[in-house]
Structure 1
Amino acid sequence: MLELVKAGGWPMVPLLLLSAVALAIIVERFWALRRKTVLPPGLGREVRTWASRGSLDPAHIDSLRGTSPLGALLAAALDVRNRSREEVRERVEDVGRHQAFRMERYLNALGTIAAAGPLLGLFGTVVGMIQMFLGIMDYGVGDVNELAGGIGKALVCTATGMIVAVPALMFHRHFRSRIDSYLVDMEHEAIQLLDAIDPRTRRAGTTAPQPAPAYTQG
C-alpha cells in the first residue's frame, strides 16, 4: 500500500486527505442521523397526550425543544397553539426547514468530495504521464517493461480518486434519502399534533365551518 502511495506521487496527498475527511463525515452523520435521535419512539404520541390534557407550560415546551429535531418541531407548533391553524402550519414549516438544514450538515462537503475525487485522480495521472514523457525525451524509451510499469504507476491516482469518490457518492445519496424519510415522518407527526390541538378537527362529521373558541384567537 505504501508503495502505491509513493508511486502516485504528491497528488496522492490531497486524495488521502479527502478520504480521511469523507470517512469522518460518514461516521459523524451515521451517529447524528440515528432514527432514535431524530425521531424518538413514542414522542409524538406523548406530546399529543400532553396537548389534549392541556398540561403544557413554557418550561415543559422548552424541555421538549431540546430533545430532538422532532421535539423542536412539535415545540414550535405548541408555541403558537393559540393562533390559527394556518399560522401554526407556517411556523412548523419554517422550523422544519431549519431542522432539515441542520440534518444536512456536512453533506455538501461529502458531495464535493465525491465530485472532486475523480478529477484529482485524473490530475495526478496527467502529472505522472507528463513526468514520464519528459523522462523519455531526456533518456529515450529504454526498457519497454519499465515504460509499462511507469504508466501503471501513473494510473494509481485515477484508481485512488475513484476509490475515494464512489463511497462518498453512495453515502451522500444514502443520507439524503434518510433525511427525506425523516422529514416525511416529522411532517406526519406535526399534522397529528395540529389535529390534537385544534378542537375543530376533533368534531367528526362537521362540514360547515364552526366559530373558533376564544382561546384559539391570536
Structure 2
Amino acid sequence: MQFTITGIWEHTGPFARMIIFALGAMSITSLVVIAERIMVYRKNRSESRSFATKMGAILAKDDLNTAANAKTGKDVGHLGRVINSGLTAYRVSSSNKDVAVESVARALERQAQREVQSLKRGLGVLATVGSTAPFVGLLGTTMGIVNAFSLMAEANSGGLNTISSGIAEALITTAFGLLVAIPAVMAYNFLQGWVDARSVDISESSNEFLDMVARHLGGLHS
C-alpha cells in the first residue's frame, strides 16, 4: 500500500471510510468554529477599544450624567455593552444611594455574564472534537485490526506479512483522529485563554465603574 491519499483511500474498507468521513466532518466543523470565533473576537476587541477611548474621556471628568446620555451606537463591543448596561441602570436609578449602587451592580453583573457566555459560544464544540476525535479514530483502528485477524483466520495462515497491510490500514484512522484533535485542542486552549482574559477585563472595568458611581452618588448625597 502506498502512503498517498489515493493509495490510503483505495485500501480502506467501508467502516474505515465511514470513520474518515466522520472525522472529516468534525474537522470542518472545528475549523468553521475557529474562524468564526477569531473574527468575532477581533471585532469585539476593536469595538471595545474604540468605546473605551470615547467613554474614558467622558468618565475621566467624573461626568456620569453626560456619559449616561452619550450616543455610543450599537457597535461597542463586549466592554461597551457591559458599561452601557450600568449607565442605563444609573440613569433610571432611585434617589437612594444604596439602592442605586446595588441596581447598577446587578446590571453590570448580569450583562457581564451574558457577554462571557456569548464569547464562549462554540468553544464546547472544539472541546468535544478535541476529546472525542482520537477515540473515533481508535474505534476505526480497533475494527480494522479485528478485520485483519479475521482475514488471517479465514486464510488459515499467520505471520506479520499476512496482516501487516490490514493493521497499517487500521492505524490510519487513529492518525486521522489525532490530526483532527490536535488543532481543535490547541485552538480551544488559545480561545479559552482569550475569553478568560476578557472576563478579567470586564470584571475590572465593572468594578472601576461601580466605584465611580458610588463616589458620584456619595458626593451628591453628602
Query: What range is the shorter-chain TM-score in?
Result: 0.7 to 0.9
Structure with bigger RCO (C-alpha 8 Å, 6+ apart): 1
CA distance in 2, matches of 1:36, 1:25: 16
The counterpart of 1:50, out of the listed 50, 53, 58, is 58
What is the TM-score with the length of structure 2 in the denominator? 0.80
Q: Does the aligned pair in 2 maintain the 1:124–1:157 contact within 8 Å?
A: yes
Seen in structure 2, the aligned counterparts of structure 1 residues 198 and 48 have a Cα distance that, compared at 3 Å, is farther
1:67 positional shift: 2.1
Deviation at 1:200, TM superposition (A): 4.4
Letter in 1 for 2:78: P
What RMSD over aligned residues (CA atoms) do the two structures have, in Å?
A: 2.6
Structure 2: gaps spanning 5 or more residues: 94-99
Question: Aligned partners of 1:164, 1:171: CA distance in 2, in Å?
Answer: 11
Q: Tell me how many residue pairs correspond in the alignment.
A: 204
- The corresponding residue for 2:7 is 3
* TM-score normalised according to structure 1 size: 0.81
Question: Does the 8 Å contact 1:44/1:189 carry over to 2?
Answer: no
Offset of 1:175 from its aligned partner?
0.9
User: Is 1:96 paired with 2:96?
Assistant: no
AA partner of residue 66 (structure 2): S
Percent identical across equivalent pairs? 22
Q: Counterparts of 1:27-46 in structure 2 under 5 Å?
A: 27-34=35-42, 37=45, 40-46=48-54
Q: Provide the C-alpha distance between the structure 1 equivalents of 2:219 and 2:37, rounded to a whole number of angstroms.
A: 47
Secondary structure of the 1:165 match is helix
8 Å CA contact retained: 1:39, 1:186: no
Higher helix fraction (1 or 2): 2
Aligned counterpart, 2:122: 106
The one-letter code matched in structure 2 to 1:26 is: I
**Structure-2 change in CA distance of 1:196 and 1:30 (3 Å):** same
Q: Contact 1:37/1:68 (CA < 8 Å) preserved in 2?
A: yes
- SS of match in other structure, 2:71: helix
User: CA 1:118–1:143 in structure 2 vs 1: closer, same or farther (change >3 Å)?
Assistant: same
